[in-house]
Structure formats: C-alpha cells, structure tokens
Amino acid sequence: MKRYLAEFFGTFALVFAGTGAIVINQASGGAITHSGIALTFGLVILSMIYTFGDISGAHFNPAVTTAFCLARRLPAREVAPYIVSQCSGAFLASALLRLLFPADKLLGSTMPAGSEMQSLILETILTFILMLTILNVSTGAKEKGITAGIAVGAVIGLEAMFAGPICGASMNPARSLAPALVSLHPQHLWLYILGPLAGALLAVPACCAIRERGCCSLNPVSGFPK
C-alpha cells in the first residue's frame, strides 16, 4: 500500500505542477513561458524521484510501469494497482486545477499542433528515449542510481523544451488522460496513450540489446535503487 500511495502522490505532484504551470502561464499572460513549463516538468520529476524512488520506484507513468513489467523488473500483479494509483493522483490534480481555475478550457491537456500522425511519431520517439534513459540509470552502480533523478528530470525537461510546442511532449498516458477527461477534450487522447506505450515497450529490447546484463532481470525489481 505504501508503494501505491507513493505513486499516487508522485503523479499528483507531476500533474498538479506540470499542467498547473501551463494553466497559470495562460492565466498570467505568459509569465511562466514555454521554457518555464518545460523546466517545471523536469524539476517536479527530479524531486519526486528522490522523494519516492526508494519506496515505489518512482514510475508516475503507466507506460513506464508497463515497460518495467516487460523487463521483468516489476511483477505483473503490481501493474494494475500501480496504474490505478497513478491515474487517481492525476485525476485529483486535474480536478483541483478545475476548481482553482474554472475559466481554463483545457487544463493543460496535450493537443497536437500539426497532424495526429506527426504527434504520434514524436510521442513514440520521445518516450522511447525517456524509457531507455530510465532503464539504464536505474540499473548497475550505486552512483548511477544516485544521479538517476537528475538524468530523468533532464531528459523530460529537454524533450518538453523542443517538442512541447508540436505534440505537447506528454510521454505519459496518465498526464494526458486526466486533464483531457476533466476538461472534456478527449478527441486526441488515443495518440497520447498509444504513442507513449509503444515507445516505452520498444525501449526494453533496445536496452537488452546494448547492455550485456542488468537491463532485463529475472528477478522482479522495481524502479530506482537506493
């Protein structure tokens, strides 16, 4: 139960701070800026990894949880409770933002600026890079585990910085699902579920191909080492 609560609170913080930055940027006439939004997403993930990494593995993302299961680093029985906890935290965050900013129409929902196929491909590649980073920094030397939060937070901030204006740089089905449903704008939601899931799952065989050992374990171990 502690692991599930950690995933709940971590995903709540991600969605509340990340999509909240988007909402507040619009409400304040651009005071935060696009760079500030990207930095917010990176910093909140960095903080939550160091806060909850030794408890739940700090997934905060159904695509990451599913990929960890495929890599045999999370028991299959844990996948559904993890995802339910993540989505519950995300929905609570979006509901609170709706209460605080009732005039905002999208609540930070991810929307494609171009074609849906363009954003689908971008989301797949972005999540592939993110998951490949997660798999590598959460395996091996203790020193690598210590810097995992910095590496993952930096990747998320970087990808949000350059790809956010086109596809939203979600890389996380829970992050897109909650604001889309709470704001009643689910029309593009499918690509923000399919793309991240595909990218995260593709990262597992890629990690196994480039690492001789440690990426895909026969022992179910979740997330970031202490």
Q: What is the CATH number of the domain that holds 195?
A: 1.20.1080.10
Confirm if 31 and 25 have CB atoms less than 8 A apart. yes
Q: Give dist(CA 128, CA 195) in Å, integer.
A: 9
Q: Give dist(CA 134, CA 128) in Å, integer.
A: 10
pLDDT for res 1: 86
pLDDT for res 225: 38
Q: Which two tokens stand for residue 129?
A: 């890079």
Q: Would residue 198 count as lying in a domain? A: yes
pLDDT for res 144: 60
Q: Would residue 216 count as lying in a domain? A: no
pLDDT for res 223: 52
Residues of the chain with pLDDT under 50: 218-222, 224-226
Q: Would residue 95 count as lying in a domain? A: yes
Please state the pTM of the whole predicted model.
Answer: 0.91
Q: Which two tokens stand for residue 138?
A: 């959460």
Residue 184 gets the label, from left (phi > 0), alpha (psi -120 to 50) or beta, of left
| Nearest Cα to Cα of residue 175 among 116, 114, 69, 97 | 97
Say if residue 184 is exposed, middle or buried (CB neighbours under 10 Å; 0-12, 13-18, 19+).
Answer: exposed
Q: Give dist(CA 66, CA 61) in Å, integer.
A: 9
- Number of separate domains in the chain: 1
Phi, psi of 205 (to 5 degrees): -65, -30
Q: Would residue 217 count as lying in a domain? A: no
Give me the chain's average pLDDT, please. Answer: 91
Phi, psi of 148 (to 5 degrees): -60, -40
- Tens of pLDDT, residue by residue over 88-127, are 999 999 999 999 999 999 999 999 999 999 999 999 999 9
Q: Would residue 73 count as lying in a domain? A: yes
